[in-house]
Amino acid sequence: MAQWARPAIRALRLWGPSGELAWARRLRSAGGRPPTRLAAGVSSVSGNGGDSAKEKLSLQDVAALIRARACQRVVVMVGAGISTPSGIPDFRSPGTGFYSSFQHCDVPYPEAIFELTFFLHNPRPFFTWAKKMHPGSYRPNVIHYFLRLLQDKGLLLRLYTQNIDGLERAAGIPDSRLVEAHGSFASATCTVCRRAAPAEGFWAAVMGDRVPRCAVCTGVVKPDIVFFGEALPQRFLLHVVDFPTADLLLILGTSLQVEPFASLSEAVRSSVPRVFMNQEAAGSLAWCPRSRDVLQLGELVDSVDRLVALLGWTEELKDLVQRETGRYRLGALTWAVSPGPAGTGQVQAGALTWAVSPGPAGTGRYRLSGSNTGCQSWPSGDGAGTG
């Protein structure tokens, strides 16, 4: 047996449907608080838990470690909170979450739309929701691009996401660095014959308010997202190697309520800093914190902005967002920039066509020249106005 396979099999025995720690997953999913012996058990299995390190850290300390390249194997865990700035509701927020929107629909309880038995009996409520998740309906935000910047700087070991919206991919995180723990809409499979279904036909049916069906056997086609009770993707087993070797763990925008994802936060060594950014404390970071934990509670974008500023990456992040989104601040207005005439190297901003080149080094400015505008230099940024 390959050496790498042994810890993976051990993990399955522990966390599988009949594994030793399956009861812990059920308890956490039901909203229960694990007793002390669970925390100790998870630590001894998933990492080297406990609190042997005595030094308290601040966010500024963590930023200094990153700048000094003392942290070069960063593992990131993210949840729905990183996508709410893109306009995607989370699942559990009262009144605004996805679950709240299904309280008056034809479902016994909101979570039923993600249960395979109910889906096979009545798939329409799920596809009513799925229509809102069509690729291109939402775009990555500054948090996604911060993660992309970690990748571009060679610091990202792996990004583990609970999200199924695909915005991490859209932001440019490569497949090799991404573990979509709950699957994604990137592919779909027939629930009967297990054939892969073409994405075009799948989305054509969903957007036309039809239940997508297999062209071969007419079975219902389901996107490859993980429903309650289904096995997680095989790539999830990378955590057996990633977390024990990580030197920094970032946890962003997740309530740490869904197992086994939630327990990954316990899988890093006790000497490894854990930075938790969320509206409120959650999981073991709330009821069993370590001395090297750093909690930044409040608006997630503000917390990420603060870390970016401490790292000295603010201008780099702005430039990345502008390049990827095609929006530039010109004077007091923000313009959507699109390619100009083919082969000209120009861009279209508003009603005018401009040639864009970098301004003086270190100024964060761009030089725009047009045939009827002369040459002007504008500050970069992401202002509130639109042109």
Answer yes or no: is 214 a known binding residue. yes
- Cα dihedral 300→306→309→311 (10° resolution): -90
Three-state SS at 234: helix
Q: Could you give the CA distance from residue 72 to residue 328 in angstroms, rounded to a whole number?
A: 32
Number of neighbouring beta carbons within 10 Å of residue 108: 8
- What six digits make up the tokens of 274? 């854990």
Q: Which amino acid is at 55?
A: E
Residue 369: both structure tokens together: 């020249």
Instruction: Tell me the helix, strand and coil percentages in the chain, rounded to 5.
Output: 35, 20, 40
Q: 354: which DSSP letter?
A: E
**Measured distance CA(55)–CA(257) in Å, rounded:** 28
Instruction: List, in order, residues 6 or more apart from 374 with CB less than 8 Å away.
Output: none
Q: How many residues does the chain have?
A: 387
Helix (H, G, I), strand (E, B) or coil at 53: coil
Cα separations in angstroms, 146 against 304, 308, 311, 380:
8, 8, 11, 18
Report CA-CA distances (Å) from 254 to 40, 80, 83, 205. 22, 6, 11, 32
| Active-site residue flag, 182 | yes
Among residues 104, 121, 144, 182, the one annotated as catalytic is 182
DSSP string, 307-336: HHHHHT-HHHHHHHHHHHHTEEEETTEEEE
> Do the annotations mark residue 217 as ligand-binding?
yes
Residue with tokens 């490569």: 174
- Please name which of 310, 263, 269 lies closest in space to residue 290, comparing C-alpha atoms: 269
193 belongs to an annotated ligand binding site: yes
Angle at 247 between CA 241 and CA 251, to 5 degrees: 85
Report, as residue numbers or ranges, the catalytic residues.
182
Which residue ranges are tagged as binding site for Zn(2+)? 190, 193, 214, 217
Which residue ranges are tagged as binding site? 190, 193, 214, 217
